[in-house]
């Protein structure tokens, strides 16, 4: 069994094994003609269940053959131009190379004595990101597993800075728009805040937080003797890609001495864009910022960070253990990243971004993100000119929320069902993958465009498929009625 350990004597085995895996994936990517095969849970479960985990195959090649059946053949492929579903990007090759290196070396970024240079690389990337945001000389931050964890950590710091005693936690309030990410609510619960702690602020017709409404909500909060703990502005809402008015929100946070968190999980790609960086103006006033490199920096999952204006606030996540990061090490100025993190053992995800910046540069990433934003603008023009569809807002980033309105139908519930059916039928056909959401209680469909290889022709073709499935549904339901 020792022959499976990666070490000085097995370098050749490692090379052959990983190369064989890379060959399979490369062949698979080259041969994929649709984002999904359309397989159902009922078809795939028995294939996975039939594997006897107590009888190993002993050999990587046999395991790869098997993996083809249980996973690779029917996976959902984000690199395909007709994958238009969730906020998943195709990944850039330098980052995949970084991923291969980081898992083989397997540094853990909790302490200097488990990572050395890895720690310094992560710190450089945190400084680089903070500088792009404009957070100032005292900024710091840490890589996390994703936007959800970044938001949680930011709100933990905000809660501690609100200097409230636990018995007052039910007086703390977080203000965020009705279009913000559900991790804000989850974080509030994890942080022990009361059920009314998250105040939902209405949005305007462009799905951006209404600052007048925020001002009124803050005033009401104070008048009622509650404490405004934080405002969470979203720079790129998950559904609409809308960016809340950051300068106005910053001014209100200043006025009410409230922590300003900007959730830029999606919009962070603008930090690399030369054309659109201005859309993030005002983000430099934030106390904390969430960025998801695994969304708009074309990085593999996971790659995310939370940045803070004042590094001293990270102390709220600091604990010392004799076996890991004793206080004395901090005094000796040994950089232990665990002092700033909610995690202990932690992947060296930063290496992927490092390789990306060293090979392509930030402008390369920004250009890719600009391309998908341009594509969304084109998609918007297609949708507004097409009488079969109703589209919600002109995109600031790269999502389009729309629905099919078949000519013969007027009953709202029937239109909802036709759109739900179209999404499901499309997924089952594997020809394209789209997402769905509700707007004003009605069922909508969504394209999240993160693939620069997707063209306006792909968008037009997928719209035709959707309209076709919706018509098919209505035809069938007319047959059922008659
Ligand atoms: C995706 C997303 C998150 C959550 O990030 P994960 O990396 O999925 O945990 C948070 N906020 C916004 C606005 C998002 O789009």
Residue 159 CA to residue 163 CA, distance in Å, equals 7
Residues 337 and 276 in one domain: yes
Cα dihedral 96, 99, 100, 103, rounded to 10, equals -170
Model confidence over 192-205: pLDDT tens digits? Answer: 998 899 999 999 99
**Final residue of a structural domain among 289, 320, 350:** 350
**In DSSP terms, which residues pair with 259 in a beta bridge?**
230
Distance 401 CA to ligand 1 centre (A): 18
292 CA: nearest ligand 1 atom: 7
For ligand 1, residues with CB inside 6 Å are 87, 146-148, 151, 181, 183, 234, 238, 263, 265-266, 292, 304
236 CA: nearest ligand 1 atom: 13
Residue 152 resides in a domain: yes
Residues 141 and 232 in one domain: yes
Instruction: Give the residue with greater pLDDT, 406 vs 236.
Output: 236
Distance 231 CA to ligand 1 centre (A): 17
**What is the average pLDDT score of the chain?**
96
Domain carrying residue 171: 107-350
Residue 223 resides in a domain: yes
For ligand 1, mutation pick of 89, 146, 235 (most atoms within 8 Å of CB): 146
Residue 298 resides in a domain: yes
In the predicted model, is pLDDT for residue 482 greater than 70? no
Please confirm whether the linkage preceding 41 is cis (ω < 30° from 0): no
**Final residue of a structural domain among 57, 77, 97:** 77
> What is the pLDDT, as a whole number, of residue 364?
98
Distance 150 CA to ligand 1 centre (A): 9
Distance 155 CA to ligand 1 centre (A): 14
Strand spans (E) along 92-225: 140-144, 172-177, 198-201
For ligand 1, mutation pick of 266, 268, 293 (most atoms within 8 Å of CB): 266
Confirm if 32 and 80 have CB atoms less than 8 A apart.
yes
Cα dihedral 21, 26, 31, 35, rounded to 10, equals 90
Residues 10 and 115 in one domain: no
Distance 162 CA to ligand 1 centre (A): 24
Residues 184 and 281 in one domain: yes
Residues 28 and 122 in one domain: no
For 48, 269, 368, 449, 451, the CA distances from 89, given in Å and listed in that order, are 27, 11, 11, 8, 6
Residue 227 resides in a domain: yes
Specify the pTM. 0.97
What percent of the chain has pLDDT above 70?
Answer: 99
The angle that helices 93-105 and 350-359 make with each other, rounded to 10 degrees, is 140
Residue 101 resides in a domain: no
For 28, 35, 65, the CA distances from 73, given in Å and listed in that order, are 8, 11, 10
The pairing of strands 433-439 and 399-404 is: unpaired
Residue 85 resides in a domain: no
Residue 270 CA to residue 289 CA, distance in Å, equals 13
Distance 436 CA to ligand 1 centre (A): 16
Local confidence band at 166 (pLDDT 50, 70, 90 cut-offs): confident
Residue 382 CA to residue 470 CA, distance in Å, equals 18
The side-by-side arrangement of strands in the sheet containing 442-448 is 83-84, 433-439, 442-448, 399-404, 389-391
Model confidence over 248-294: pLDDT tens digits? Answer: 999 999 999 999 999 999 999 999 999 999 999 999 999 999 999 99
**In DSSP terms, which residues pair with 425 in a beta bridge?**
none
Local confidence band at 474 (pLDDT 50, 70, 90 cut-offs): confident
**In DSSP terms, which residues pair with 444 in a beta bridge?**
437
Residues 157 and 36 in one domain: no
Model confidence over 9-64: pLDDT tens digits? Answer: 999 999 999 999 999 999 999 999 999 999 999 999 999 999 999 999 999 999 99
Domain count within the chain: 2
Containing 288, the helix (H) or strand (E) segment is: strand 288-292
In the DSSP assignment, the letter for residue 299 is P
304 CA: nearest ligand 1 atom: 7
> What is the pLDDT, as a whole number, of residue 46?
98
Residue 154 resides in a domain: yes
Residue 386 CA to residue 332 CA, distance in Å, equals 66
Confirm if 130 and 139 have CB atoms less than 8 A apart.
yes
146 CA: nearest ligand 1 atom: 7
Residue 265 CA to residue 3 CA, distance in Å, equals 42
Distance 95 CA to ligand 1 centre (A): 20
The protein residue with its alpha carbon nearest to ligand 1, atom 15, reads 238
The pairing of strands 259-264 and 227-234 is: parallel
- CA atoms in the 13 A half-sphere facing the CB of 318: 17
Confirm if 133 and 283 have CB atoms less than 8 A apart.
yes
Confirm if 155 and 174 have CB atoms less than 8 A apart.
yes
Local confidence band at 406 (pLDDT 50, 70, 90 cut-offs): confident
């Amino acid at each position: 069994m020792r022959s499976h350990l990666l070490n000085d004597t097995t370098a050749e085995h490692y090379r052959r094994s990983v190369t064989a895996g890379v060959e399979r994936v490369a062949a698979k990517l080259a041969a994929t003609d649709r984002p999904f095969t359309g397989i159902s849970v009922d078809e795939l479960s028995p294939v996975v269940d039939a594997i006897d985990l107590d009888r190993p195959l002993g050999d990587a090649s046999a395991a790869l053959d098997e993996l083809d059946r249980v996973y690779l053949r029917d996976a959902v492929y984000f690199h395909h131009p007709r994958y238009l579903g969730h906020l998943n990007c195709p990944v850039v090759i330098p980052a995949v190379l970084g991923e291969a290196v980081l898992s083989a070396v397997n540094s853990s970024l909790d302490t200097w004595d488990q990572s050395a240079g890895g720690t310094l690389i992560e710190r450089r990337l945190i400084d680089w990101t903070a500088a792009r945001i404009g957070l100032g000389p005292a900024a710091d931050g840490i890589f996390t597993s994703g936007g959800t964890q970044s938001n949680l950590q930011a709100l933990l710091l905000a809660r501690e800075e609100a200097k409230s005693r636990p018995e007052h936690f039910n007086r703390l309030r977080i203000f965020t728009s009705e279009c913000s990410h559900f991790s804000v609510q989850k974080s509030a619960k994890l942080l022990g805040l009361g059920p009314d702690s998250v105040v939902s602020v209405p949005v305007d017709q462009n799905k951006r937080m209404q600052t007048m409404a925020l001002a009124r909500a803050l005033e009401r909060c104070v008048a009622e003797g509650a404490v405004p703990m934080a405002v969470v502005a979203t720079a790129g809402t998950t559904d609409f890609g809308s960016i809340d008015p950051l300068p106005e929100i910053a001014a209100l946070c200043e006025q009410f001495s409230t922590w300003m968190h900007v959730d830029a999980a999606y919009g962070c790609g603008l930090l690399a864009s030369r054309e659109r960086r201005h859309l993030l103006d005002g983000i430099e006033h934030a106390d904390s910022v969430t960025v998801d490199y695994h969304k708009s920096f074309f990085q593999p999952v996971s790659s995310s960070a939370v940045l803070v204006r004042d590094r001293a606030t990270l102390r709220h996540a600091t604990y010392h253990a004799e076996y890991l990061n004793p206080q004395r090490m901090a005094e000796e100025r040994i950089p232990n990243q665990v002092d700033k993190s909610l995690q202990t053992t932690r992947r060296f995800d930063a290496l992927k971004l490092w390789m990306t910046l060293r090979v392509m540069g930030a402008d390369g990433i920004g250009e890719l993100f600009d391309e998908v934003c341009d594509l969304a603008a084109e998609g918007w023009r297609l949708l507004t000119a097409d009488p079969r569809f109703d589209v919600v807002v002109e995109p600031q980033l790269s999502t389009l929320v729309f629905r099919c309105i078949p000519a013969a139908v007027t009953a709202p519930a029937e239109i909802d069902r036709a759109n739900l059916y179209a999404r499901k039928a499309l997924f089952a056909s594997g020809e394209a993958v789209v997402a769905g959401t509700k707007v004003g209680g009605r069922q909508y469909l969504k394209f999240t465009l993160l693939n620069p290889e997707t063209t306006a022709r792909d968008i037009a073709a997928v719209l035709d498929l959707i309209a076709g499935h919706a018509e098919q549904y209505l035809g069938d339901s007319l047959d059922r009625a008659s």
